[in-house]
C-alpha cells in the first residue's frame, strides 16, 4: 500500500474553523474528484489536530491528510498534483500555508492494527546523521529490528492499538521527503501518554529510535478525530 501524507498548516490570517470549513468543504471535493479518476485510489482521511493532549509531543500543524493507493504510479501522480499542479495549489492556498504544509509519499507497512483507536500520534522525520547516505539501511533497521525492540514490554506495546510505518520514497521532481513516518494509535491519549512514560520506552525504545531517527525538524500531530473523506466502494 502506497501512502501520500500532507501535514497541513493554515496561514495566520484565518482561524482553524475557517481553514477546516474551506479546505474540507470546498477544496477537498475537487481534489478527490481528480484522484478518483484512477482505480488505484482506495482511501482518504483527514486527521484534525488535538493540541495539548500528548505530553512531550508538541505540534504546530492543523491536521494531516492521508491518501492511500494500491500502486506506486497513481500515488506518485497524486503527490505531483498536490505539489505541482498550479490550479490545485492556487485553490489550496486559500486555506493553507503551502510552504509550511509538506507532502510526500511512502510505502505503508502496518505492524499492529486493532479496532478502537481514538487517539493517534502522527510523526515524520529524517534519518539520523550516520544514515544520511544510506537511507534504505536505516529503513531496513526500522522495519526489521525496531518493532522487535518495541514489543519487548507489554506495559508499552500492550497499550497500543495501531502501529504503521510509512517508509518515505524519494520521488523525482518532489522537494519534500520524509524517509521515516509513523502512525501510532491507542484507545485514549491517557494510554498513549502512559505508554510513552514507561521506563521501557524511555530507556529502551526511545534510545533505539535515536539510532536511526533525527530529532531535528520532526513533524508531529496529535489527533482524536480521523474523518474518512473517501473510501473506495467495496473496500
Reading the block at residue 98, the C-alpha cell is: 503551502
Mean pLDDT of 3-9: 96
Is residue 23 very low, low, confident or very high in pLDDT (cuts 50, 70, 90)? confident
Mean pLDDT of 121-134: 92
C-alpha distances (whole Å) from 105 to each of 151, 167, 189, 232 are: 27, 8, 27, 20
Phi first, then psi, for residue 37 (nearest 5°) are -65, -25
Residue 158 has pLDDT above 80, yes or no: yes
Mean pLDDT of 201-209: 97
The position carrying cell 484507545 is 187
pLDDT for 28: 86
Mean pLDDT of 173-198: 96
Reading the block at residue 23, the C-alpha cell is: 479546505
Residue 233 has pLDDT above 80, yes or no: yes
pLDDT for 52: 77
- 49 neighbors 28 (Cβ within 8 angstroms): no
pLDDT for 64: 96
Strands (DSSP E) found in 23-131: 41-48, 63-69, 103-113, 119-125
Higher pLDDT pick, 196 / 36: 196
Is residue 4 very low, low, confident or very high in pLDDT (cuts 50, 70, 90)? very high
Phi-psi region of 17 (alpha: psi -120 to 50; beta: other; left: phi over 0): alpha
Neighbours of 219 (CB within 10 A): 17
pLDDT for 202: 97
Quote the CA–CA distance of 153 and 190 in Å, as a whole number.
18
Quote the CA–CA distance of 81 and 78 in Å, as a whole number.
5
Quote the CA–CA distance of 38 and 49 in Å, as a whole number.
30
pLDDT for 29: 86
Could you tell me the pTM of the whole model?
Answer: 0.94
pLDDT, tens digit (0-9, with 9 covering 90-100), for 61-116: 999 999 999 999 999 999 999 998 999 999 899 999 999 999 999 999 999 999 99
Question: Which overall architecture, per CATH, does domain 2-231 show?
Answer: 2-Layer Sandwich (3.30)
Helix axes 28-35, 72-84, angle to 10 degrees: 150
Specify the 3-state DSSP secondary structure of 235.
coil
Nearest by Cα to 18 from 90, 89, 95: 95
Q: Which residues pair with 110 in a beta bridge?
A: 164
pLDDT, tens digit (0-9, with 9 covering 90-100), for 25-57: 878 888 888 888 777 999 999 999 997 789 988
Amino acid at each position: 500500500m502506497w501512502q501520500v501524507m500532507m501535514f497541513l498548516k493554515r496561514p495566520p490570517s484565518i482561524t482553524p474553523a475557517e481553514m477546516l470549513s474551506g479546505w474540507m468543504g470546498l477544496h477537498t471535493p475537487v481534489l478527490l474528484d481528480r484522484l478518483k479518476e484512477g482505480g488505484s485510489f482506495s482511501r482518504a482521511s483527514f486527521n484534525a489536530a488535538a493540541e495539548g493532549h500528548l505530553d512531550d509531543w508538541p505540534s504546530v500543524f492543523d491536521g494531516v491528510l492521508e491518501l492511500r493507493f494500491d500502486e506506486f504510479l497513481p500515488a506518485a501522480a497524486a503527490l505531483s498534483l498536490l505539489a505541482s499542479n498550479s490550479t490545485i495549489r492556487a485553490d489550496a492556498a486559500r486555506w493553507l500555508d503551502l510552504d509550511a504544509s509538506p507532502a510526500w509519499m511512502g510505502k505503508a507497512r502496518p505492524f499492529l492494527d486493532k479496532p478502537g483507536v481514538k487517539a493517534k500520534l502522527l510523526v515524520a522525520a529524517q534519518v539520523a546523521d550516520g544514515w544520511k547516505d544510506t537511507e534504505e539501511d536505516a529503513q531496513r533497521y526500522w522495519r526489521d529490528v525496531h518493532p522487535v525492540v518495541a514489543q519487548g514490554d507489554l506495559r508499552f506495546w500492550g497499550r497500543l492499538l495501531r502501529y504503521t510505518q510509512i517508509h518515505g520514497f524519494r520521488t523525482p521532481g518532489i522537494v519534500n521527503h520524509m524517509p521515516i513516518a509513523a502512525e501510532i494509535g491507542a484507545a485514549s491519549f491517557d494510554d498513549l501518554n502512559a505508554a510513552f512514560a514507561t521506563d521501557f520506552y524511555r530507556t529502551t525504545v526511545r534510545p533505539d529510535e535515536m539510532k536511526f531517527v533525527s530529532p531535528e525538524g520532526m513533524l508531529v500531530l496529535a489527533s482524536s478525530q480521523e474523518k474518512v473523506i473517501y473510501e473506495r466502494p467495496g473496500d
